[in-house]
Amino acid sequence: MAADRWAGPLGIALVVALLPVMPASSSPSGSATVQSCGKGSWTAGTVDICNGAVIYRDYVYDDYGADTSDPTAPSTGLLSRPAGDERYPEGQENTADIIDLKVGIEGDSLAVVFELGALYNADSTVAAVAIDTDNDTSTGGGEWEGLGITSAGWDQIHRFDKGDPKTNLIKGSIPKPAGDTWRLQAVTARSDGTVMNVAFRGPDEETATGTWWDDKQAVALSEGDISEFGYEVAVADLESGATKLAQDVAGFHQRVYVSDYTLRKGEGMSYTAEFGRHGDSGEVCEQEFHFFGRYQPYGIYIPDQPGPHSMQLALHGCNANHASLVDQPGMQRVMGEEQNRVVVVPLGRGPLGYYSDISERDVLDVMADVEKTYDIDTKKVYSGGYSMGGYGAYRMAMAYPDRFAGVISWVGFTGDCYNGTPRQQDRDCKSGAIGNVINYVKNLRHVPAALLYSGADELVHTHTHQAMAAKFRASSPPYIYFLHPAAEHFTLGLTDDWRKEAAWTADLTLVTNPARVSFRTMRFLWSPKYGIRHDRAYWISKIRGHLAKKWIDVDLTTGACGGVTEVTEEGITAGPDPVPWEGEYRNLLEYDSVTKKNSLSGTLKNVRRLQIDAEDACLAGKQVKYEIESDSKVALLLSDGRALSLDQGRNKGVIPARR
C-alpha cells in the first residue's frame, strides 16, 4: 500500500501534499465539472497542473501492453477482456500500472514521481520519461533503448529502474532541460523491457476491441510507436506555480475513486480469484473478486446537456466489467441523452462480485462520488443492471429503497435458479448470490420496478422470472413485466434498444417519508466490516433482530402525516421493440390523502429494537395512539427521546406527548 505516498526527499512530493482540495464546480453547460486538484477521484487520462506540478492521472488496471493477437492470454472474465495481451509473471500482476505521474521543477532539477498500482520488488518495474525540449516532432526522436518502442521528437530520455515497494513509488531527479515548452511522454515496463502502460493517453481511450480502456495503447504498442501520446507544458507554468485543472466533458469515460477498503494484499489485482462467502463451490458464476487495491474504476456516460441530471445504475453482468452496457450507443442515446441521465457502471471488484460485501461497498461509493462530482437530482436515481447486474439492481433497491426512484432489471438473476420450482423448498442454487431477492419484493412498495426477461433465456430460466413476476403480482409494488418470448439471454443487450423501459421510468421520482414502510432484512445480507448494515428505510432505522438467521420484518404505518391509500391500475400490454413482447403491469396512479390522526400501527416480526424518526413520521412531541402486533419483545425508540416497550402479541395504548 502507498499509505505514505507523498513522503520522501523530493520537494515535489511535499508540494503536492500541501495542495488545497478544490471543490467541484459546474461549467456553464452544467454537464461538466472541474476535477479536484487534491487526490480524491478523477477522470482517467486527464492532466492537471497543480501549484506548478504536472499531474497525469491514468486509467487503472489498464496495464496489458501490446495487442499481440494472443487468444490464450488470461483474463478475469469472458466478457471482460483487454485489448492488450501481455501479462506479468505470477505474483507480479499490476506492478507497471500507472496510477499517476507527477513532474515538477526543483531548483535546477526536474523531479519525477510515478505511483503504481502495486510494487512487490524494487527492481520489478522500469519507468521512463522522454522530453521533447523544443516541442518539435520533426527533430530528435527514435528508439527508446531497451524498451522496444519509438516516438518522434524527443531530445532526452531518462530511465528509472528502482522503486520503493513500501510506497509503490518510483522516483527520479534529472537536470532541468532547456526550452520554453516541453512535450512529455512516459511509459512503464516489466523488468525485461516489455512496455505495459503508456501515460498521457487522454480521457477518450477506447473500448471497441477490449473492455479496459486500453485499445489505442495496445495498437500503438503492437506497432511500436507511441508518438501520439504526450503532453505539452509551458515551462513558465511550472516555474510560477500555476494551477490549471482539467475539466470533465460530456461523453463516455472511466472515472477512478479512492476506496477506504482493500482486499488480500491490499493492492493490485490477480487472475487468481479471491472467492466470496460461498467459497470455491464449483457453481457457475460464483462470487469472486480480482481487483484488490484502493484505486477502483467505474464507467460513466455524461449527457451533453445542462444539469441537474438524473442517475442510472447499469450494473454489469457475470464475467463482464465496468465498460459493459455504458459503452453502447443506444444506451448512451436513450438512457443518457434522451433521459438526461448520467449512466454509471461500477466494476464491483471484478466480474463476479454480485453487488454484495465489498462489491456492494463499491456501488455505494461510486454513487456517492457521482453525486459529489456532478449535478445530480437525488430524487431521480434509478437502480438497474443486466443478468447478475439485474440481480444487483433488485438487491440495491431492496436494501436501500429510500435512495431509488425506480429499478430496471434486464434478465436479472433472482437469487436462486430453483425459484418457481418444488426443489426450491429443500435445496438452493444461488451461484454467488448473497440473498434471494424474491424474498424481499415487499421492500419495493414505493420503488416501481421494470422487469425485462426473455422466453428462450439459456441462463436465467423462465421458471425463475415467472416466479418473480408472480411475487410482484401478489405483493404491493408498482411494476411492469416485459416478456420477450423468442429472445435469449443476450438479445436485449445486443439489440441495444432501451426505449420502453426508459419511457416507463421517465417520470418516476423518489418517494420520501411515505406513510407506510414495509421492510425486510436479515443479518446474513449485511457486511459490517465494510460499513454495510441494511437496517433502515425511510423514517425507520437501527433495526435489530432477535435471531440472526431469520428474517426481520417491519410493516408500520403512521397516520400523523395525513396517511394515504394507494390507487393502482392493473392490466396487460404488448409491443414490438426490440423484439415482440407481452407484459403485465400495476401502475400507481396516485396517493389519496385521508384524515390525519396521531397513530402508529402495523406488525413486527423478529424485531428486537428499532428507532422511528419522529419528525419524518410526523410524530414529534405528539400524543400517539398505537396498535402494533409483534411476535416478540421489542424496544421501540422515538428520535425525540421517547420510548415504548412492546410485548409479544397485540400491543395497544398511547405514547404520551413529549413535555
Tens of pLDDT, residues 359-387:
999 999 999 999 999 999 999 999 999 99
Instruction: Please indicate, yes or no, whether residues 483 and 522 belong to a single structural domain of this protein.
Output: no
pLDDT value at residue 593: 61
pLDDT over 70 for what percent of the chain?
Answer: 93
Please check the confidence at residue 10 and state whether its pLDDT lies above 50.
no
As a whole number of angstroms, the distance between CA 406 and CA 335 comes to 14
Name the grid cell of 83. 485489448
β-strand 634-638 against 607-612: which pairing, if any? parallel
- Give phi and psi for 139, each to the nearest 5: -115, 145
For residues 277-310, b (16+ Cβ closer than 10 Å) or e, as one string? ebeeeeeebbbbbbbbbbbbbbbbbbbeeebbbb
β-strand 624-630 against 599-605: which pairing, if any? parallel
Among 248, 271, 295, give the residue marking a domain's end. 248
What three-state secondary structure class fits 101? strand
Q: Which residues have CB under 8 Å from 90's CB, separation 6+?
A: none
625 located within any domain: yes
| Beta strands per DSSP E along 176-237 | 181-190, 195-198, 231-234
As a whole number of angstroms, the distance between CA 406 and CA 339 comes to 14
Whether the CB-CB separation of 58 and 254 falls below 8 Å is answered with no
Structural domain that includes position 182:
11-248
Instruction: Please indicate, yes or no, whether residues 397 and 366 belong to a single structural domain of this protein.
Output: yes
Please check the confidence at residue 91 and state whether its pLDDT lies above 70.
yes
6 located within any domain: no
* Interhelix angle 388-399/358-373, nearest 10 degrees: 70
Q: Is 180 exposed, middle or buried (0-12, 13-18, 19+ CB in 10 A)?
A: exposed
Mean pLDDT of 598-620: 97
4 located within any domain: no
- Sheet containing 643-646: which strands, arranged edge to edge? 540-545, 607-612, 634-638, 643-646
Please check the confidence at residue 18 and state whether its pLDDT lies above 50.
no
Model pLDDT for residues 441-453, shown as the tens digit of each residue = 999 999 999 999 9
Instruction: Please indicate, yes or no, whether residues 471 and 504 belong to a single structural domain of this protein.
Output: yes
As a whole number of angstroms, the distance between CA 633 and CA 408 comes to 38
**Cβ of 202: how many Cβ atoms within 10 Å?**
13
Distance of CA 3 to the CA centre of its chain: 23
Q: How many residues does the chain have?
A: 659
Instruction: Please indicate, yes or no, whether residues 378 and 265 belong to a single structural domain of this protein.
Output: yes
487 located within any domain: yes
Q: Tell whether omega for the bond before 578 is within 30 degrees of 0, i.e. cis.
A: yes
Instruction: Please indicate, yes or no, whether residues 572 and 651 belong to a single structural domain of this protein.
Output: no
As a whole number of angstroms, the distance between CA 629 and CA 651 comes to 6
Which pLDDT band holds residue 32 (cuts at 50, 70, 90)? very low
List the one residue out of 464, 462, 388 whose CA is nearest residue 424.
464
Name the grid cell of 618. 410526523
396 located within any domain: yes
Please check the confidence at residue 355 and state whether its pLDDT lies above 50.
yes
As a whole number of angstroms, the distance between CA 240 and CA 419 comes to 66
Among 220, 248, 276, give the residue marking a domain's end. 248
Which pLDDT band holds residue 38 (cuts at 50, 70, 90)? low
What three-state secondary structure class fits 338? helix
Mean pLDDT of 234-238: 97
The domain total for the chain is 3
Query: Which CATH number is 319's domain given?
Result: 3.40.50.1820
Instruction: Please indicate, yes or no, whether residues 100 and 201 belong to a single structural domain of this protein.
Output: yes
Which pLDDT band holds residue 23 (cuts at 50, 70, 90)? very low
Where is pLDDT greater, at 595 or 471? 471
Please check the confidence at residue 288 and state whether its pLDDT lies above 90.
yes
Please check the confidence at residue 58 and state whether its pLDDT lies above 60.
yes
As a whole number of angstroms, the distance between CA 574 and CA 581 comes to 6
Cα–Cα distances in angstroms (integers) from residue 592 to residues 162, 561, 570, in the given order? 70, 12, 17
pLDDT value at residue 659: 73
Instruction: Please indicate, yes or no, whether residues 279 and 420 belong to a single structural domain of this protein.
Output: yes
Whether the CB-CB separation of 116 and 168 falls below 8 Å is answered with yes
Mean pLDDT of the chain: 92
List the one residue out of 257, 271, 432, 478 whose CA is nearest residue 347.
257
Mean pLDDT of 484-513: 97
Whether the CB-CB separation of 128 and 189 falls below 8 Å is answered with yes
Model pLDDT for residues 556-577, shown as the tens digit of each residue = 999 998 766 777 899 999 999 9
pLDDT over 90 for what percent of the chain?
Answer: 87
Which pLDDT band holds residue 425 (cuts at 50, 70, 90)? confident
5 located within any domain: no
Mean pLDDT of 322-351: 98
pLDDT value at residue 1: 35
Instruction: Please indicate, yes or no, whether residues 270 and 306 belong to a single structural domain of this protein.
Output: yes
Whether the CB-CB separation of 613 and 402 falls below 8 Å is answered with no
As a whole number of angstroms, the distance between CA 387 and CA 74 comes to 23
Please check the confidence at residue 97 and state whether its pLDDT lies above 60.
yes
Instruction: Please indicate, yes or no, whether residues 16 and 163 belong to a single structural domain of this protein.
Output: yes
Among 248, 264, 293, give the residue marking a domain's end. 248
As a whole number of angstroms, the distance between CA 270 and CA 309 comes to 36
pLDDT value at residue 591: 64
Query: Which CATH number is 144's domain given?
Result: 2.60.40.10
Cα–Cα distances in angstroms (integers) from residue 515 to residues 230, 506, 518, 607, 637, in the given order? 58, 24, 10, 20, 18
pLDDT value at residue 29: 36
Instruction: Please indicate, yes or no, whether residues 137 and 100 belong to a single structural domain of this protein.
Output: yes
pLDDT value at residue 564: 65
Q: Which residues have CB under 8 Å from 174's CB, separation 6+?
A: 109, 110, 112, 129, 158
pLDDT value at residue 177: 96
Whether the CB-CB separation of 557 and 602 falls below 8 Å is answered with yes
List the one residue out of 37, 174, 8 whose CA is nearest residue 107.
174
| Torsion angle (degrees, nearest 10) of CA 333, 334, 340, 346 | -80
Instruction: Please indicate, yes or no, whether residues 445 and 572 belong to a single structural domain of this protein.
Output: yes
β-strand 341-346 against 295-302: which pairing, if any? antiparallel
